[in-house]
Structure 1
Amino acid sequence: MSGVEVGLGLQSDKPAGTYARLARRAEECGFDVLTVFGDLMYQPPIFPLLEMAPATERVRLGPACLNPYSMAPYEIAGQVAALDLASGGRAYLGLARGTWLGAVGIAQPRPLTALRECAEVVRRLLAADTSGFAGEVFTLEPGTALRYGVARPDPPLLIGAWGARGAALAGRIAAEIKVGGSANPAMVEVVRDRLRPGAARAGRPVGDIGIVLGAVTVVDRDGAAARAHARTEVAMYLAVVAELDPTAGVPADLIARVTALVDAGEHAAAGRLIPDDVLDLFAFAGTPEQVAERAQALIDAGVRRVEFGTPHGLTDEGGVELLGTEVLPLLRREPARPAGGAGGREAAPAGTRGPVSR
């Protein structure tokens, strides 16, 4: 598993203090990356990330993802700079077009242009480039500069995208691409093919861009209970991800029935309709052995990082503990460190360093 990272994706819905405790334990167990989601109407991810930074020494930290519509590029630059300073140079920045912003009255025109220009503005600000930038969406007047110091001029950039054009953009400018909501090994080669045009345009080997797949995770020694809970979680986004995955082949009538029940608020009933083979495409679910088997399939397919997303288990802290102490060792990693261990290995950031869902 050399060169492969395993991460945790956290929802920003927890009280203060919880993030530091989870992060500390995750690092002790041997996780490599801690991500906080940037989902609509949850806490901004910078709060959990800044709590986790001083509680850890080694893990990489970042939001997945911020978007250039609800936050201006100079604010995004400030947040990643703050996280990089607080963590001693362990931050990464995730950018995506954002989801469900229409609910708060925010339009999302020209998403690829907005993402590309946002990344460029952030890069120039962090690099103290005062030459200016005149884009189609964003502008920097010549002489505009941050009025504070930064830890690094080039924290790694992750682009969150499923589609071909978003992947091509990641191939041009990003260190990583994340496909959120997928645990499907067949998507890895699809993503790699979609990265190639952008990588070729930038003169980069496609292997320089790390592929990250992450999805709902529910692990428990009671595998049936874990899979039942995961079905309910997956039901809420099945209609979206099933259409985005060209390899999945989920029957249209199944999607329609699941969607109708979700719309009616009957989430558990919707989940019960999802068969095992479909569940395994869009979640890591079951016993530690079952979850490790699905993660190993992604590693064998060539991902740079597997990300276990919320809710992790039947309880969040219980799930993190099982992932760390029983799943990670099955992925040919070091045995989990006991609680209170030092966890002091140096970070090894994945992929090409670039400018800086989920």
Structure 2
Amino acid sequence: MRAVEIGLGLQSDKRPGDYARLARRAEDHGFDVISVFGDLMYQPPIFPLLEMAAATERVRLGPACLNPYSMAPYEIAGQLAALDLASGGRAYLGLARGTWLGEVGVAQPRPLTALAEAAEVVRRLLAGDDAGFEGEVFRLAPGTRLRYAVRRPRPPLLIGAWGPRGAALAGRIADEIKVGGSANPAMVPVVRDRVRAGTGPAGRDPDAVGLVFGAVTVVDADGAAARARARAEVAMYLAVVADLDPVARVPADLVARVKELVAAGRDDEAGALIPGDVLDLFAFSGTPEQVAAQAQTLIDAGVSRVEFGTPHGLTDDRGVELLGGTVLPMLRRTAAG
């Protein structure tokens, strides 16, 4: 049985120096993994990841996620190799099809094929395999290889996916699957079954693929204020994730109204419409005790990593302090008991 990891997911919207400070604090508290989101129009993840690599010694680091539509697989391989070198072999790669790329005119045809072939190109380049690759979307001409030494030929691969086909792909080729935007323990067995659809034909042990669940997190001693902030944050992506969760059954009229208000820039009003039980499916929020209890339900359901996503608290620093200094010890005590 793999040990359960606790991670932080950071939005890449901070100033130079902020990432190093937060990463050192997270490592000192005992977090296992720090991820940087690859969301549209934010800073490229490689910048904060390299800063954090220089400031830490133990935590695993990776982008969650890059996509093969806005970044070519050879460039993904190069960035992963750079992070692995800079971190002393602590990098992982997150790949997903990406969201909202239509807003910048980037089409996303054949997403599963693109993801699978991108992962294969990265693997071959890092392994020094220069025999060539002729895929349906991507190719490597024979003799194509990286012109520098890499730290590891196969850093761990995470696939970001919710649906059956994406989860099956993760089952075939990945070390982890991340269900981003979910804090719903009822989704854990659903995702595990979907992963098995890929591990079976590939002859892999289903338990070899870790399940990562992560979502917006807002923790504060003022639980009501934390949940109000979380509601506004969840409102911005509820329309995307509600349809992906087959067990949540969020009312369609609620989703439509929230989407309408968000489009009008009225995020707080949109968030105020989200009932507490719906909020708890898509965010960790409230007092440290409430957040720890939510995370524990996911651990009990069988996840291998819980990832507390941005904004963490009413401020970045306070959120990381409460998560690391109060929530994490609660989870560790439960695991030890």
For 1:355, the equivalent position in structure 2 comes to none
Asked if 1 retains the 8 angstrom alpha-carbon contact of 2:219 and 2:314, the reply is: yes
Distance 2:12 2:155 in 1: 22
Task: Report what 1:199 is aligned to.
Answer: 199
Post-superposition, which runs of at least 4 consecutive aligned residues in structure 1 deviate over 3 A?
A: none
Q: How far did residue 333 of structure 1 move?
A: 4.8
Shift of 1:332: 2.1
Q: Which amino acid aligns with 1:325?
A: G
Q: Which residue does the alignment assign to 1:343? A: none
Paired residue secondary structure (2:298): helix
Tell me by how many angstroms 1:259 deviates. 1.4
Q: Which amino acid aligns with 1:291?
A: V
Matched residue, 1:12: 12
Structure-2 separation of matches of 1:38 and 1:12: 8
Give per-residue Cα distances to partners, 1:182-214, cap 9 Å, x unaligned. 000011101001011110111001111000000
Superposition deviation, residue 252 in structure 1: 1.1
Hey, what's the Cα distance between the residues in 2 that align with 1:177 and 1:105?
27
> 1:102-153, CA deviations, whole angstroms, 9 ceiling, x for partnerless residues?
1111111101000000000000000000111000000111111100110000
Give the fraction of aligned pairs with identical amino acids, expressed as a percent: 80
The one-letter amino acid paired with 1:196 is: R
Structure scoring higher RCO (CA < 8 A, sep ≥ 6) equals 1
Residue 304 of structure 1: aligned partner: 304
CA contact (8 A) 2:96 2:115 kept: yes
Report the Cα offset of residue 2 of structure 1. Answer: 6.7
Partner of 1:38: 38
The one-letter code sitting in structure 2 at the alignment partner of 1:213 is: F
Q: 1:111 maps to what in 2? A: 111
CA contact (8 A) 2:26 2:324 kept: yes
Residue 260 of structure 1 corresponds to 260
Q: How does 1:91-110 map to 2 (within 5 A)?
A: 91-110=91-110
Partner of 1:80: 80
Alpha-carbon distance in structure 1 between the residues aligned to 2:254 and 2:275: 10
CA distance in 2, matches of 1:70, 1:47: 17
Separation of aligned partners in 1, 2:264 and 2:70: 30
3-state DSSP of counterpart to 1:162: coil
Inter-partner Cα distance in structure 1 for 2:138 and 2:88 = 29
Task: Note the C-alpha offset of 1:262.
Answer: 1.2
Shift of 1:272: 0.7
Structure 2 letter corresponding to 1:161: A
Q: Which range is displaced more, 260-269 or 115-124?
A: 260-269
**Deviations 1:256-306 (Å, cap 9, x if unpaired)?**
221121122111111111111000000000000000000000000000000
CA distance in 2, matches of 1:258, 1:22: 32
Change (3 A) 1:93 1:333: farther
**Which residue of structure 2 aligns with residue 209 of structure 1?**
209
Matches within 5 A, 1:180-329: 180-329=180-329
Three-state SS of the structure 1 residue aligned to 2:207 is: helix
Change (3 A) 1:121 1:312: same
Change (3 A) 1:306 1:39: same
CA distance in structure 2 between the aligned counterparts of 1:297 and 1:140, rounded to whole angstroms = 45
Q: What secondary structure sits across from 1:142 in the alignment?
A: coil
Kept in 1: contact 2:2–2:304 (CA 8 A)? no
> Are the counterparts in 1 of residues 238 and 255 from structure 2 also a CA contact under 8 Å?
yes
Aligned-partner SS, 2:217: strand
Distance 2:333 2:48 in 1: 27
> Match of 2:332, as an amino acid?
R
2:21 matched residue in structure 1 = 21
| TM-score between both structures, scaled by the size of structure 1 | 0.92
CA distance in 1, matches of 2:7, 2:251: 31
Structure 2 distance, partners of 1:124, 1:70, is 20
1:48 equivalent in alignment to 2:48? yes
Q: Deviations over 1:199-252 (max 9, x none)?
A: 011100111100000000000000000000000101111111111000001111
Classify the secondary structure of the residue corresponding to 2:177: strand
Q: Letter of the 1:59 partner, please give it.
A: V
Question: CA-atom RMSD, angstroms?
Answer: 1.1
Output aligned runs, 1:99-178, within 5 Å: 99-178=99-178
| Residues 171 and 206, structure 2, Cα contact 8 Å, conserved in 1 | yes
Unpaired runs of 5+ residues, structure 1, are 335-358
Letter matched to residue 54 of structure 1: A
Cα separation, 1, equivalents of 2:147 and 2:211: 34
Q: Distance in 2 between matches of 1:155 and 1:275?
A: 41
State the SS of the aligned residue for 2:36.
Answer: strand
